[in-house]
Amino acid sequence: MRRTPEITLPVRLDGDGPLPGRLATGLRELITAAVLAPGDALPSTRALAEHLGVSRGTVVAGYDQLLAEGYLSAAPGRSTVVNPQLRRVHPRPAPAMSVPAPPPQTTLDLRPGRPWTDEVVGAAWKAAWRQAAAEPVNQSVPELGLPALRRAWAEHLRRMRAVVWNPEQVAVTAGGREGFGLLLAALSDPTVRAGQGRPLRVGVEEPGYPSLRRVPSHYGAQVLPLRTDDRGLAVADLPTGTDAPDVVLVTPSHQYPLGGSLPVDRRQGLLEWARAHRVVIVEDDYDSELRYTSQPLPALASLDDPDDGRVVLLGTLSKTLTPALALGFLALPDWLVEPVRAVRADLGQPVGLVPQRAVAHYLDAGALRLHTQRMRQRYRRRRAQVMDALADRDGLRVQPMDGGLHAVVETVRPEDEVVAELTAAGVQVSPLSSYWSGADGRGGIVFGFGAATDTELARGLALIAEIAGKMEP
């Protein structure tokens, strides 16, 4: 059944001439603009006349005019409607002729950051969401998240990351960037940073993860690049005294994108430096559980004091499950819990009740651990596929791939030429230089191998080997 419009139709009665003609013009404009569609029923003449404050005869005359023009249709015992055959009587103007565009070439998206998601929705996933959806929805979500989910995160961190912290120290976030922003908002309060009145200064690894590096500037913070090498953050080069930053964002388990792992002596040195200069270390734990050459390394937070320590552990489900879930956590030292809670009280909890319940059930069932183990085997095979295709190729060098979902390939050929030729061949990758903030970045490409099928990856690797491996004349 077609809808009957409300009698509050925005019919225009302005202009010159007899009132029935002005009414017909107003209705005609509504039909032409598709506010009234073919088959829509119009108000009765009595109802529309009362609404517009005109006589019923005026409305009858206006309707008769549009019936004669073919805009309306009427039959005994039925409402007056917009003519269902309107487009035959008053066809729309034909669009201007244009030359058909050639069909787009099939593009293989190998840009990094995407996991294999086809196996996420299994029995455990469906059961968790069914259970969450069946529970009452008459409760609010606390600022730092649902207690059941915070307990589940704390248990997961204990078992998988050797971080033994209290569930009350876990805050639920809407992903990595939202969690990082939440922390920066809390630290922007000078009383939280020992009374410092200057803007927040945030040190980031150079090179580093582009999306997280862009977050601090949106909170009025100054960004300071910090040097890295093949073993991660160069701790010995960190600024001291008044030059020290307030926050450092670091990827100790798997430096992004080059892949180095911060050794124990550097980890201890980093913690000592942070304590001496009262710096908050944000440990981005983005893919630490996806390690292929050894067991996952303990988190830096596991070496810190959970009460008055300096490390905040930042985690998400983007790499282990799917970025579409947009859910993560902050594990906070005890002294930072209340400042973060205060910001949440003002801004609100961005993750709804049902998703938090579902993830809590999923974690409690041990499903995330099992899924991660399956994916680790899959990604290990993909890693071997990458190494077989690109190792020992003249003109390129593959960085070590001890973990993660991406590969870094340095090329002899100019980076822009390689990226442009791969794009023209239908393969999307990221330029390696884009991970540096300055102009002194290395040349090469970064590509992901997590989301492609075996066939797609084989096709992409063949093109990368052919194009990136060309030697300059």
Residue 4 has pLDDT above 60, yes or no: no
Looking at residue 184, its pLDDT comes to 96
Looking at residue 93, its pLDDT comes to 60
Residue 473 has pLDDT above 70, yes or no: no
For residue range 261-292, what is the model confidence (pLDDT) as tens digits? Answer: 899 999 999 999 999 999 999 999 877 778 77
For residue range 162-201, what is the model confidence (pLDDT) as tens digits? Answer: 899 999 999 999 999 999 999 999 999 878 876 567 889 9
Looking at residue 217, its pLDDT comes to 93
Pick 95 or 206 by higher pLDDT.
206
Domain ranges of the chain: 19-89, 108-114+375-468, 123-365
Looking at residue 17, its pLDDT comes to 80
> pLDDT band for position 1 (50/70/90)?
very low
Looking at residue 270, its pLDDT comes to 97
The yes/no answer on whether domain 123-365 falls in CATH 3.40.640.10 is yes
Looking at residue 189, its pLDDT comes to 85
For residue range 141-161, what is the model confidence (pLDDT) as tens digits? Answer: 999 999 999 999 999 999 888
Exposure on the CB side of residue 18, measured as CA atoms within 13 A? 10
The pLDDT of 125-134, averaged and rounded, is 96
> pLDDT band for position 101 (50/70/90)?
low
Report angle CA 393, 418, 461 to the nearest 5 degrees: 50
Instruction: Among 128-137, 211-220, 295-304, 327-336, name the one with the lowest average pLDDT.
Output: 295-304
For residue range 369-414, what is the model confidence (pLDDT) as tens digits? Answer: 999 999 999 999 999 999 999 988 888 999 888 888 999 999 999 9
> pLDDT band for position 9 (50/70/90)?
low
**Are residues 72 and 28 in contact, defined by beta-carbon separation less than 8 angstroms?**
no
Residue 6 has pLDDT above 60, yes or no: no
**DSSP secondary structure string, 28-86?**
HHHHHTTSS-TTPBPPPHHHHHHHHTS-HHHHHHHHHHHHHHTSEE--TTS--EE-TTH
> pLDDT band for position 103 (50/70/90)?
very low
The yes/no answer on whether domain 108-114+375-468 falls in CATH 3.40.1550.20 is no
**Are residues 196 and 348 in contact, defined by beta-carbon separation less than 8 angstroms?**
no
The pLDDT of 55-66, averaged and rounded, is 91
> pLDDT band for position 52 (50/70/90)?
confident
Distance CA 451, CA 27 (A): 53
**Are residues 295 and 316 in contact, defined by beta-carbon separation less than 8 angstroms?**
no
Residue 294 has pLDDT above 90, yes or no: no
CA 427 to chain centre: 22
Phi, psi for 128 (deg, rounded to 5): -65, -40
Nearest to 114 by CA among 404, 399, 408, 423: 404
**Are residues 183 and 312 in contact, defined by beta-carbon separation less than 8 angstroms?**
yes
CATH entry, 19-89, from 3.30.300.30, 1.10.10.10, 4.10.640.10, 1.20.1370.20: 1.10.10.10
Distance CA 410, CA 431 (A): 10
Query: Taking all residues of the chain, what is their mean pLDDT, rounded to a whole number?
Result: 89
Q: How many percent of the chain have pLDDT more than 90?
A: 63
Q: Could you tell me the two tokens for 42? A: 């119009």
Burial class of residue 471 (count of CB atoms within 10 Å of its CB; 0-12, 13-18, 19+): exposed
Burial class of residue 220 (count of CB atoms within 10 Å of its CB; 0-12, 13-18, 19+): exposed
Entry pTM: 0.80
> pLDDT band for position 358 (50/70/90)?
very high
**Are residues 400 and 258 in contact, defined by beta-carbon separation less than 8 angstroms?**
no
